[in-house]
Structure formats: structure tokens, C-alpha cells
Amino acid sequence: MSINTPLGDTLGGFLDNLLVGKSALSRWKKIDVSRCYSKVGADLSDYDVDAKLRRLEGLLPPEIWKRARKLISKSPWTTKLTILMSLDAYMDAQIAPGTIDMDSVAAIVAGHNINFNHQYENRIQYVEEPDYMDSLLALTGLDTDHAGCVSDALGIRGPIYTVGAACASGNTALRCAIDELRYHDVEMAIVVGAVLDFSPVELHAMALMGAITFQSFNDDPEQACRPYDTAREGFVPAHGGGAMVLETLASAKKRGARIYAEILGVEAGSDANHLPQPSEDGQARVMKKLLDKCGIAPEQIDYINAHATSTPLGDLTELRSIKRVFGDHAYKLKLNATKSMLGHTCWAAPVVETIASVLQMRAGKLHPSINIANLDPEVDLDICRGTTAVDWPVKMLMKNSFGFGGINCVSILARYED
């Protein structure tokens, strides 16, 4: 696994900051939000790409590092981060050269319209002077360039593609990776939750829709994302991404790989409604379908990493669907809201938050859900409210993700038992 958020670009640092309840939110630094209603987000725009690349020299096989350096020198900002996260995940997977047939490795990038700001800036440049645009925009502006760069850097020769499912993209990509492993002779798949490069246009459009916070917290950004609190008013857009290496058990055992967790299943469904109106029926249906498909009783789930975006309707809809599916056991579960610290990393959120969930499972501790000054009276489940971590053994967890367009996708992961 690998991670890159304002709370850290290493797994250990990321977990440590989650467990102490640190907020990643601030005012946007390099996005021109002077004409936007919303001014806050989790910002990675000052991330030192060159310093990170230098740290990787000597840790990666020389031919991979050289290819990555060349690719990064010519790529847009968010594509650079995609390449770096794939390199980190490759190293974390401890893949020795020659141990994996790269014809049987897939790369799947979760997200769509990823390079929003790169496109926006080039359109401005086109108006000012067309010949000074990025001469490679016809390539670098495409989402598929992310997958192509991962393939190029790591020498992957199996299937590569992108998957777009709004804020459920990461879980949908995970589902595709499982299909590649099960049905298409793939031994290994890397799933990258790409960092969404917001432009002022998208930020303002989301504010006009009423989807993101802008009324109360522009001058107090760390408090802006507050799932389950009565003052929540919309999600907080965030930079952040991650990558996971999935592998068949046979392949992992053959090369003595470290196994973080076992993926038991991923299921998806939709609400037959393109508007951003979360559906209790749709969410409950997918959760129940997944439990049934995996042959898992609701009582076997110990923890749910909630979608919990800090929207007035979304937070309660998800809790209602959980109570419908889990019945009395819902009151024995623990839930938490990673977005309370990170904000909403959108297309990458299921990947980022699955990594957070697996790290918590292995640590036996759950991070707090912060910024809940006044708990919504309808919230009667244990959502780890507070500022300190909670000791909680987790053998099996559920990760919920729900996207604009009525897209629902849910996964279940378990502690790996050899």
C-alpha cells in the first residue's frame, strides 16, 4: 500500500496523525479561489515532488527510477503524484525484479476528469496565447495518461485502464481488480486512487449546488468537516490519494509477500437517480447483497469505515441504511469518519480510507471522528466521537462509498489468517 495526503506520505506517519485526531484542512494555497464561495480544503499543492523522487533513488531498481524521473519531468502535477504513489506501493509490496511476470500485472486508476486544473489552466493559456499551451495536452489531459504512466514506470504489460464512478471510483476499481485476478489470468493488480486536481470552476460549481461547505468555516478551516455534527453544511474537497497492490493468494505465498488483509468481496449498485440524493434503499441493498454474496452474517462485521461526508442528508441516510441492514448489531459496531480529518478526497476516497481502515485493523485502534461539538440527535450509533483513538480489535470491516449519480459500492476486508 502507499498513501499521499496532507496528513503524510508514509503509512506510519499517516496512521499516527489519524490516531491523534489531526486535521489536514486549511485554506487553499495555490488554487485561485478569490471568486469562489468556498475557500477551504485539504491542500497538497506545495508537496515537494522532486524531493520525494530523490528519496526513491537507490531504493528502486535503477531502470524503474530512471523511467519514473523522465515521466515525472513531463507530467502534470496530479500525474506526478500518481506515479510516485505507484512506486511507493511497488516498494511496499517488496516485488523483487524477475519474480513477477509483468504480462500478468494490471494497473487500474480510480477516477475521471482527474486533471481538472491542468485543463483549466491550459484553456486560460489558450485564450492568452495558444502556442504557449502544454504541447502534450492532447495526451496529458487524458485520464488514461495516469494509467499509461504507471505502466511505463513499472514496466507493466498487462491490462491498464481507468474507472470512473464519482466518489465510489476507488471501490469500483477494487472490484475491477478482483475480476482481473479471478477471471483474466492476472496475478497482481495495482489500484491507484488518483489525486483529484480541483480547479476553481469545480469548487465554485459544487458550492452553487450546495454540496460543499462555504457559509461558516472559511476562516476556521480545521473545523469545516464535521460529520454527524448539527453544524455540518457540506463536504470539504481534499487533495489525497493512495495505491494498493492486490494479488492472488498463490502469488503472494509463492514470493513470501507481506499480506495486510484479505479482500472478501466488493459489490455495487445504483439508485436509478442521477441527482446527488443519497438513497437509504440503494445503500442498504448493496450492503446486504455484499454480506449475502460473501456468506457473512452481519454480526461478523466489527467496524465500518463510513462514507460520512459531513452533509446534512448524506450522514443520516448512511446511518439509517446501516441500521436497516445490521439491526441490533448496529449498536455493537464501531464506525468512524476519516473525512472529519482528511476532508473528501473524492474519487480516491475509497482507496485512501480503505488504507486507513486496514492500518487501523492491524493496529487494533480506531481513529476518532473529530469536530463533533453538538451531536445530531438522530445519531445513536458509536461513531468514535472525540479526539483520541479507541482500542478496538477488528477481524472484519466494511468500507462504504457512495457517489454522485446514485452510485453505491461497498467492500469487506478481513484480517488475514495464515
Q: Which residues are catalytic?
A: 167, 307, 344
Contacts of 209 (CB under 8 A, 6+ apart): 276
Residue with cell 470491516: 397
Q: What are phi and psi of 30, to 5 degrees?
A: -115, -5
If you count them, how many residues does the chain have? 418
Of the candidates 142, 345, 107, 117, the one whose C-alpha atom is nearest the C-alpha of residue 225 is: 345
What is the Cα–Cα distance from 156 to 104, expressed in whole angstroms? 8
Task: Give the CA angle between residues 336, 338, 340 to the nearest 5°.
Answer: 95
Q: Which residue intervals of 143-266 are DSSP H helices?
A: 144-154, 169-183, 200-209, 249-254
What is the Cα–Cα distance from 350 to 108, expressed in whole angstroms? 14
What is the Cα–Cα distance from 356 to 354, expressed in whole angstroms? 5
Q: Can you list the pairs that 12-18 forms with residues at least 24 positions away whose Cβ atoms lie under 8 Å?
A: 14/355, 14/356, 14/359, 15/356, 15/359, 15/360, 15/363, 17/341, 18/338, 18/341, 18/356, 18/359, 18/360, 18/367
Of the candidates 400, 280, 385, the one whose C-alpha atom is nearest the C-alpha of residue 349 is: 400
CB contact at 8 A, 23 and 370: yes
At 84, which helix (H) or strand (E)? Answer: helix 77-92
What is the Cα–Cα distance from 145 to 404, expressed in whole angstroms? 24
CB contact at 8 A, 335 and 315: no
What is the Cα–Cα distance from 288 to 297, expressed in whole angstroms? 10
Of the candidates 202, 108, 119, the one whose C-alpha atom is nearest the C-alpha of residue 150 is: 108
Beta strands at 390-391 and 396-403: parallel, antiparallel or unpaired: unpaired
